[in-house]
């Protein structure tokens, strides 16, 4: 146990609007998600029904960095320090980590609003991949995977996903690993030379739990870490998809997402939303560096700034 959200912060009404339309059994008064590490090594996360972004100090203390009228679901840092939020209510939001100001960044696909954005990931070239989940599932397999290029072009890569959730790219960035929660599996989404996708398939098929795979992360060896909601576990598979080991929760079963941190990058932080906790596991290998932590050489990347 690394940190636990104070009870006074878990104050959303049990029948709040977001929880009222979700399947029964999930956390309602708070839901920790989107763990991410800034360039200073500080852990951040979001609280969906309370519309908050938290900064967690090394001693495990939660500080409210932002509170706004939204449902933040995923969080990632840009290389220039900005925070990007996948907001289930509004779309993709942008936050200043210094003053806590949150503003819309991308709220529509053309003229149509999103179903409900869930998670996001930056490729090394600055392209932003994000999932549009809404209430999709096997009954309505219309969830979407989007890419917003560093040049500002929005592309829909998939539109037939039964509940797209967490996502991460493989080491060579030739494919996207996509958590498909209601299918209880992780898809592999190969990228074709023209930028499209082809031969999408199942990479890992899970079973059990009452939810499915949620957040994903990758280590330096290309091993995939899969937070399994309702199973109380993080599954680890190698680059071939073969199981390596399982990390069991020491709290409740709502393991929603994961992020690598610590001084050597070998600490895996796990958001467990049933107890409102963040768990920590020490691993044998560090996580793959994120776009936000890429070395800067003075060059200006699209959408970023030089050192």
> What residues are designated binding site?
33, 118, 165, 214
Longest dimension (CA), the chain: 51
What is the DSSP-derived secondary structure letter of residue 124?
T
**284 closest CA partner among 300, 267, 305, 272:** 267
Contact 181, 214 (CB under 8 A): yes
Catalytic positions are 214
Name the binding residues for substrate: 118
How far is 239 from 266, CA to CA, in rounded Å? 18
Beta-bridge partners for 113 = 108
Residues placed in the known binding site for a divalent metal cation: 33, 165, 214
Residues 6+ apart with CB under 8 A from 183: 138, 162, 163, 212
The strand pairing partners of 267, in sequence order, are: 261, 282
Cβ neighbours of residue 63 closer than 8 Å, sequence gap 6 or more: 54, 55, 56, 57
SS (H, E, C) 138-176: CCECCEEEEEECCCCCEEEEEEEECCEEEEEECCCCCEE
Per the listing, tokens 């907001």 go with 87
């Amino acid at each position: 146990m690394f940190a636990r959200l104070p009870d006074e912060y878990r104050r959303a009404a049990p029948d709040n609007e977001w929880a009222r339309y979700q399947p029964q059994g999930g956390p309602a008064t708070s839901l920790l998600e989107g763990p991410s590490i800034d360039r200073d090594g500080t852990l951040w996360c979001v609280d969906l029904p309370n519309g908050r972004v938290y900064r967690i100090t090394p001693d495990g203390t939660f500080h409210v960095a932002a509170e706004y009228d939204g449902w933040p679901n995923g969080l990632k840092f840009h290389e220039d320090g900005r925070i990007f939020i996948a907001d289930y209510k509004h779309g993709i939001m942008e936050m200043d980590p210094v003053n806590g100001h949150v503003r819309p960044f991308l709220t529509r696909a053309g003229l149509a609003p999103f179903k409900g954005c869930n998670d996001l990931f930056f490729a090394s070239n600055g392209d932003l991949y994000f999932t549009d989940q809404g209430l999709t599932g096997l009954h309505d397999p219309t969830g979407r995977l989007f890419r917003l290029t560093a040049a500002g072009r929005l592309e829909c890569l998939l539109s037939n996903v039964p509940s797209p959730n967490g996502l991460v790219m493989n080491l060579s960035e030739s494919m996207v690993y996509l958590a498909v929660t209601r299918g209880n599996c992780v898809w592999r989404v190969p990228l074709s030379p023209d930028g499209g996708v082809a031969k999408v398939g199942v990479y890992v098929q899970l079973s059990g739990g009452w939810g499915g795979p949620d957040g994903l992360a990758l280590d330096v060896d290309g091993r995939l870490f899969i937070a399994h909601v309702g199973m109380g576990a993080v599954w680890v598979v190698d680059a071939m998809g073969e199981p390596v080991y399982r990390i069991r929760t020491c709290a409740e079963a709502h393991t929603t997402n994961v992020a690598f941190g610590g001084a050597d990058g070998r600490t895996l932080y796990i958001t467990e939303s049933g107890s409102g906790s963040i768990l920590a596991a020490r691993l044998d290998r560090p996580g793959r560096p994120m776009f936000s932590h890429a070395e800067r050489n003075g060059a200006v990347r699209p959408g970023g700034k030089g050192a």
